[in-house]
Amino acid sequence: MLAAEQLAGRVADIVGEATRSVILHGSLAAGGFRAGSSDIDLLVVVDDGISDAQAAALEDLVRGADVGDATGIDLHVVTAAAAGAPRPAPALELQVGRYDGSSVEFEAERRVAAAPDLITELSMARADGRALRGAPPAEVIAPIPAQWVISRGRHWLTAWRSLTDDTENAAFMVLTACRIWHFAVENAYCSKSEAARWALRRDSSLTVVRQALVRYERDPAAVVDERGIAGLLDLVLRDTATT
């Protein structure tokens, strides 16, 4: 948490008076953080946008920040208008991702007119986020219809159906599929591990979920069966079709 607090302070210093809120969300805010495998997730709400110089400074900050026990940083910057009146594909000022140890170590996007994945970030930040600087999440983020989040989740389930041979991301796909499934049924967010155990209570035959849990929690070299991934994706797609 210290690393997140320090990062939030430096973000607010860069953005200055335009900062409405710096919100910690994801596993550090809601529980389920795992040292060595979880990121620091920050959503920054600003008045009217940021300058190119501020965007560059935030990118440099993410590159060089001390992340403590985390494995990276996922930083999103949105305007108060985008957060206060969301749409299924909100406008994004800046996204910066640092993923230590992965094949994609760093990425950055500026001024994306329509960013459909942002709707889930906004929803999670409003539901379980914690303001480290500025206003509480519910004051700067309007309610997000659950169906928008589910629809975007189903998009990724469908996309992953052709990527079941991606061994690097196998556990991520399985555990995120469980989180999408859990949200569609329970209308609540939870950690990857909690979602996996929820899925196993719902269907104890899902061996692939057990395999993904072993890889995520204990053994990074554990096998996650490709056919099992496909079967789980199909199951969750069927079960969320009419949610």
Say how far apart CA 18 and CA 191 lie, in whole Å: 32
List, in sequence order, every residue forming a beta bridge with 130; answer none if it has no partner: 24
Say how far apart CA 52 and CA 127 lie, in whole Å: 30
Cβ-contact 6, 24 below 8 angstroms: no
Q: Using CA atoms of 134, 143, 75, 232 in order, give the dihedral in degrees to the nearest 10.
A: 150
186 Cβ neighbours under 8 A, 6+ residues apart? 198
- Residue 68 pLDDT level (bands cut at 50, 70, 90): confident
pLDDT value of residue 102? 78
Task: Indicate the residue type of 145.
Answer: P
Mean pLDDT of 9-27: 95
Mean pLDDT of 19-46: 88
- Residue 37 pLDDT level (bands cut at 50, 70, 90): confident
- Residue 243 pLDDT level (bands cut at 50, 70, 90): low
pTM of the model: 0.91
User: Considering the chain, what is the average pLDDT of its residues?
Assistant: 94
Q: For 127-148, what is each residue's pLDDT tens digit?
A: 999 999 999 999 999 999 999 9
Say how far apart CA 41 and CA 28 lie, in whole Å: 8
Say how far apart CA 139 and CA 208 lie, in whole Å: 40
